[in-house]
Chain A
Amino acid sequence: AQSVAQPEDQVNVAEGNPLTVKCTYSVSGNPYLFWYVQYPNRGLQFLLKYITGDNLVKGSYGFEAEFNKSQTSFHLKKPSALVSDSALYFCAVRVWVTDKLIFGTGTRLQVFP
């Protein structure tokens, strides 16, 4: 069965420091992986996706993610965090040959000034 795990409920980082939000996955077939961000009382905003190709995927707002097939991971990264990056981040995997996304439990990112 397909699944996504986000092992950290919350990540705290100081502004200007690099940040990493972790995600591991379990899929059958090719993994189509996504990162979304959610601000309070809003829907999900797309950050980036991995479909195929380069293992380092660049996305919106300076975020990037590294696909690691051997470790079945898709960690979200940013070289320099901003206070405005504080939000809830979701990793998701597409179920093969459907439009169904399976989401992780979410990681709350808190960036302190």
Chain B
Amino acid sequence: KAGVTQTPRYLIKTRGQQVTLSCSPISGHRSVSWYQQTPGQGLQFLFEYFSETQRNKGNFPGRFSGRQFSNSRSEMNVSTLELGDSALYLCASSLEPQIPNYGYTFGSGTRLTVV
């Protein structure tokens, strides 16, 4: 079966612009989580979606937002980009939360560079 698909793979944006990243989970997976990876801060949780509802949100400013569609695909949006938003953004999918024996599958990520 197809893995987690993140598009685009690479993105270059200018400060002040906004960006939308997309994540298509594994077929049948209904939970999608987003992470930001930077050399300085490591891997940090952004948000988690299940059944089109945001269940958890990390400690990021309101410029970071997301949503999930009825087909479980998810998008995240970053508005008013800052240089510090340059990072690898990773998406993970899982079957559904609160089931003990499951795992998370990560996509290859979107590398965002803000100039």
Interface residues of A (CB under 8 A from B): 32, 34, 36, 41-46, 49, 51-52, 90, 92, 95, 97-106
B94, closest chain A residue (CB): A99
B101 touches A100 (CB 8 A): no
Residue-wise, chain B 11-36 has the 8 Å CB interface mask toward A (1 for contact) of 00000000000000000000101010
Interface code B87-99, partner A: CB below 8 Å = 1, 0 otherwise? 0001010100110
In the complex, residue of chain A having the shortest beta-carbon distance to the beta carbon of B41: A105
Cβ–Cβ < 8 Å partners of A49 in chain B: 103
Determine whether the beta carbon of A43 is less than 8 Å from that of B33. no
Rounded to whole angstroms, the CA-CA distance of A25 and B106 in the bound complex is: 22
> A51 — which chain B residues lie within 8 A by C-beta?
100-101
CB-CB under 8 A from B94, the residues of chain A are 99
Q: Which residues of B contact A104 (CB under 8 A)?
A: 42
Q: Which residues of B contact A (CB under 8 A)?
A: 4, 6, 31, 33, 35, 42-43, 45, 48, 50, 55-56, 58, 90, 92, 94, 97-98, 100-101, 103-109, 111
Instruction: Decide: B108 and A42 in contact? CB cutoff 8 A.
Output: yes
Contact between A97 and B106 (Cβ–Cβ < 8 Å)?
no
Which residues of the partner chain B approach A36 to less than 8 Å between Cβ atoms? 106
Which residues of B sit under 8 angstroms from A106, Cβ to Cβ?
A: 42-43
A76 to chain B, nearest CB (A): 16
A98-B111 Cα distance, complex, nearest whole Å: 26
Are B100 and A32 in contact, CB atoms less than 8 angstroms apart? Answer: yes
Of B48, B103, B107, B111, the residue contacting A46 (CB under 8 A) is B103
> Could you say which residues of chain B place their CB within 8 Å of the CB of A98?
48, 55-56, 97
- Identity of the chain A residue whose Cβ is nearest the Cβ of B33 in the assembled complex: A99
Which residues of A have CB within 8 Å of B56? 95, 98-100
**Min distance, Cβ B70 to any Cβ of chain A, angstroms:** 19
**Which of chain B's residues have a CB closer than 8 A to the CB of A45?**
106
